[in-house]
Amino acid sequence: MAVTILIRRRVTENTALGVDYLLRKMRSLTVNQKGYISGETFRRIDEEDVSLVISVWQTLGAWQKWRSSEERIELQNEIDLLLGEPTQYEIYEHV
C-alpha cells in the first residue's frame, strides 16, 4: 500500500542557498530509488521559512530503505547541520 511522507524543515534566508543545493542533490538521488512515486515541495505562505515536502512511495519498506541509506543519511545530516535543528517526518497511509 502506498505511503505519503510529510517532511518539514525551517529554512531561513541565511540557510536557503546551502539547503537548496543539498535538497536538489537529494531529489536527484530520490527519483532513482525503487518504490519512489512522486514528490512535491511547498513553502508556507504565512510562514515563509517553513518548507514541506510531500513524498509518495509504493510501500513503507521502500521509504524506510531509502531513509536509512548511507547516501541519504549523509545528505540529511548536512541539511540538519545547516538548519540547526532536525528535519521532522510524518508518515501516512492511504485509506
CATH code where residue 21 lies: 3.30.70.100
95's grid cell: 485509506
Rounded to the nearest integer, the mean pLDDT of the chain is: 95
| Owning domain of residue 12 | 3-93
- Whether the Cβ atoms of residue 58 and residue 37 lie closer than 8 Å to each other: yes
95: pLDDT confidence band, cut at 50, 70 and 90?
confident
Q: How many domains does the chain have?
A: 1
Number of Cβ atoms within 10 Å of the Cβ of 16: 14
- Whether the Cβ atoms of residue 9 and residue 79 lie closer than 8 Å to each other: yes
Q: Distance between CA atoms of 49 and 32, rounded to whole angstroms?
A: 28
Looking at residue 94, its pLDDT comes to 85
